[in-house]
Amino acid sequence: MIMAEYKLEVTTGNMTNAGTLDYIHVTLIGTEGKSERTELDNFGVDFKSGTTAIYTVKTRLSLGKLLLIKVEKDALFFLPEDEWYCSKIVVTTPEGDVILFPCYRWLSRGELVELRGGRAIKVFEDEHPLLIEHREKELILKKSLYKWEIIDEMLPHMSHFKQMSDLPAEVCFSMSKSMEMIYTKRITGAELMFKGLVGSTEQWENTEDIKKIFWSKRTPVSEFVTEHWKEDDFYGFQFLNSINPNVIKRCSELPPNFPVTGEMVKPFLKKGSSLQKEMEKGNIFLCDFKRMDGLPAKAYDGESPRVTAGLCLFYINPENKLLPIAIQLHQTPSEENPIFLPSDSETDWLLAKMFIKNADFMLHQSVYHFMNTHYLAEVFTVATLRSFPVIHPLYKLLVPHVRYTLQINTMARKSIFAPAGILSRSSLGYDGMTELMRRAFSELTYSSLCLPDNITARGLESIPNFYYRDDGLKLWNIINSFVKAVVEYYYPSDSEVCKDTELQEWISEIFTHGFLGHKASGFPACFNTVEEVIKFITMVIFTVTGQHAAVNNGQFDYHSWAPNGSLLLRKPPPTTKGQSSMKTILETLPNVGQTVSFAAMSWILSDVYTDVVPLGTYPEERFDESAPKQIIKEFQAELSCLSEAITERNSQLEVPYTYLNPAQMENSITI
Ligand code: FE2
């Protein structure tokens, strides 16, 4: 009797509790038949965390081309549920072929999973009826597991999950089941660090006292902030290299509602120069918070509103320092809306700068952090999970970049960006922040999400000491080359793009549910060319890695110290000059308890967690063919060069810019 032997190398994940004592059965299915349902059982304990074991499946004849592996998990006696995290199965066939069957998911009892292996296959390349049917069934299942939900008619749609526990085992990836608990514990833990201060309604007696709350956590940048927050050049620096480099733009003409005169700012410009001349030379910049005009603000102690739709004018001086030179706190000029200048009293100027920072920080959290990275990442995640079967090359490319995103957003919607979440304690409150998101979303354009276009549109190509731009453009180009290589390998011509119905559905779901069909904003509704696919996927990966890191990772550095930028200011903005003192500043800053809860948030949101996957590392092996594996290696080499260059540059800087260092950013949004 002829016997054929299949060697199976089965790898169990290395996270805690990944192993199982349950019975595991496999059935191999090929073009020429299928194997017996075979128990995987070696001497001793099978399926221990982080191990690979070899099993043999024997058949009478070769099964032909191997199509699927059916994996079943059955209870051992009456023991309680014992989930198994299967990473992958590598099969060596009697013909000597070695085929990778990626799994990378939890299996519950009684669950049956059919794995597809081998090289990535697009929908029009599947020929075997069994595989065509398998592919269709997989997508039907995916669409029932991941559904769109409209939470707000004017914002991107989201996933329908309300709790972490609602998430299907399949999407939990490697996340340990206790993550939610750990996360909640961290919030309370962080608040407890500031023992005795949580909930305190006391006012700070001086800004030095605020330093005392940080006895247990400091970073070199956060320390620098506490020492230099009042200085104008450090203030300007932050609009380029802190956590919101997204607002500033070149100003070649003053907005008509910002009547800064040449006389007003002459003393702050280079001797003999004028505002007009400096504007012509491209040395004048502007932050305009007009989007915040008229937003509903939260009443505080019966007073309102305290939201500042201000304007701040900046000047690049001959020493290449960006300095604020004029601030108007509301959009409409009037007697009660004076233009503040660096020559005003120290506290008047400081207050004006604080109100601009408050507006900037609220815009940062709601628009540039939550909406433009977290919420868009969720759109990309849901569309990827619904539209692509796991054998699709773009699923393999994209899925590492959506890891944990549904989890973190589900949690954030409960505790951070929620009616009772921490951001609701900002000056705008939850309703104001949501309205701000809607306004910004209605104006969102595709090009603003593509860094090279964004920098050009804002006229920031040559402003000196702009590390976000310098590092960001290099990173964009590296991601772009990587995506180009992968996409061109699988789509040699535009016709493959046009006939890939799964790819077309992916972009159509993103267009409809993510960008709400805003065609005028430049978002593609379908793909006609390989080039369009490359650009869009570059934007997706850049958004969930670099852009998120740029707006997220410095939150503790720059915003744990409330005077440097607070989500809440308790007093209305000043309407006249010469009335303020240090007392006004302290009355305006959040009280002790509020300061502590914002500091705790900035801590949690920029903390580094244990199971970080840095950009470009792919611990889950999903590609079986050598070309993409080689492309990944080149990607990693380029990222590591950039990382070295950034580290070298930073060693020369007083305040380093680390947020776009590839070694320090994650492969997806996980926090
Ligand atoms: Fe984040």
Q: What is the pLDDT of residue 598?
A: 84
Ligand 1 centroid, distance to 352 Cα (angstroms): 28
Token pair 């408050």 is found at 358
**Percent of the chain residues topping a pLDDT of 70:** 94
- Region of residue 362 (phi > 0: left; psi between -120 and 50: alpha; otherwise: beta): alpha
Ligand 1 centroid, distance to 548 Cα (angstroms): 6
Q: Which CATH number fits domain 363-558+599-664: 1.20.245.10, 2.40.50.140, 1.10.10.2120, 3.30.565.10?
A: 1.20.245.10
User: Domain map of the chain by residue range?
Assistant: 4-118, 363-558+599-664
- Between these two residues, 77 and 257, which has the higher pLDDT value? 257
- Mean pLDDT calculated for residue range 215-223: 81
Bond prior to 572 in cis (omega within 30° of 0) = no
DSSP secondary-structure letter at 165?
G
* Displacement of CA 7 from its chain's centroid (Å): 41
By CB atoms closer than 10 A (0-12, 13-18, 19+), residue 273 is middle
Taking ligand 1, which is a single-atom ion, which protein residues have CB atoms under 5 Å away? 552
Distance CA 543, CA 559 (A): 22
In this structure, the number of other CB atoms found within 10 A of the CB of residue 67 comes to 19
Q: What are the residues facing 10 on neighbouring strands?
A: 53, 89
Ligand 1 centroid, distance to 544 Cα (angstroms): 9
Helices 179-193 and 592-605, axial angle in degrees (round to 10) = 140
Ligand 1 centroid, distance to 376 Cα (angstroms): 12
* pLDDT tens digits, 97-151: 999 999 998 888 777 899 999 999 999 999 999 999 999 999 999 999 999 999 9
Q: What is the pLDDT of residue 177?
A: 41
Of the candidates 177, 323, 204, 71, which has an alpha carbon nearest to the alpha carbon of residue 566? 204
* pLDDT tens digits, 177-189: 445 556 555 665 6
Ligand 1 centroid, distance to 645 Cα (angstroms): 25
| Residue 107 near residue 113, CB atoms below 8 Å | yes
Ligand 1 centroid, distance to 351 Cα (angstroms): 28
- Mean pLDDT calculated for residue range 432-457: 97
| Residue 23 near residue 74, CB atoms below 8 Å | yes
Q: What is the pLDDT of residue 75?
A: 76
Q: What is the pLDDT of residue 207?
A: 83
* pLDDT tens digits, 574-604: 999 999 999 999 999 999 888 888 887 787 7
Ligand 1 centroid, distance to 157 Cα (angstroms): 18
Token pair 């997989």 is found at 138
Looking at the domain covering 4-118, what would its CATH class be? mainly beta
Token pair 């493959």 is found at 496
* pLDDT tens digits, 31-64: 999 999 999 988 878 889 999 999 999 999 999 9
Ligand 1 centroid, distance to 369 Cα (angstroms): 6
DSSP 3-state assignment of 591?
Answer: coil
Ligand 1 centroid, distance to 350 Cα (angstroms): 29
Residues 6+ apart with CB under 8 A from 240: 248, 322, 463, 465, 466, 467, 468, 469
* pLDDT tens digits, 200-216: 888 888 888 887 776 56
Ligand 1 centroid, distance to 367 Cα (angstroms): 12
Q: What is the pLDDT of residue 70?
A: 97
| Residue 98 near residue 604, CB atoms below 8 Å | no
Ligand 1 centroid, distance to 295 Cα (angstroms): 24
pTM: 0.95
Ligand 1 centroid, distance to 640 Cα (angstroms): 23
pLDDT at position 363 over 80:
yes
pLDDT at position 2 over 90:
no
* Displacement of CA 495 from its chain's centroid (Å): 32
Ligand 1 centroid, distance to 370 Cα (angstroms): 7
Q: Which of 49-63, 192-206, 221-235, 287-301 has the lowest mean pLDDT?
A: 192-206
Q: What is the pLDDT of residue 76?
A: 73
Distance CA 89, CA 246 (A): 45
Ligand 1 centroid, distance to 644 Cα (angstroms): 25
Distance CA 227, CA 335 (A): 34
State the average pLDDT for the chain: 92
Ligand 1 centroid, distance to 418 Cα (angstroms): 15
| Residue 6 near residue 82, CB atoms below 8 Å | no
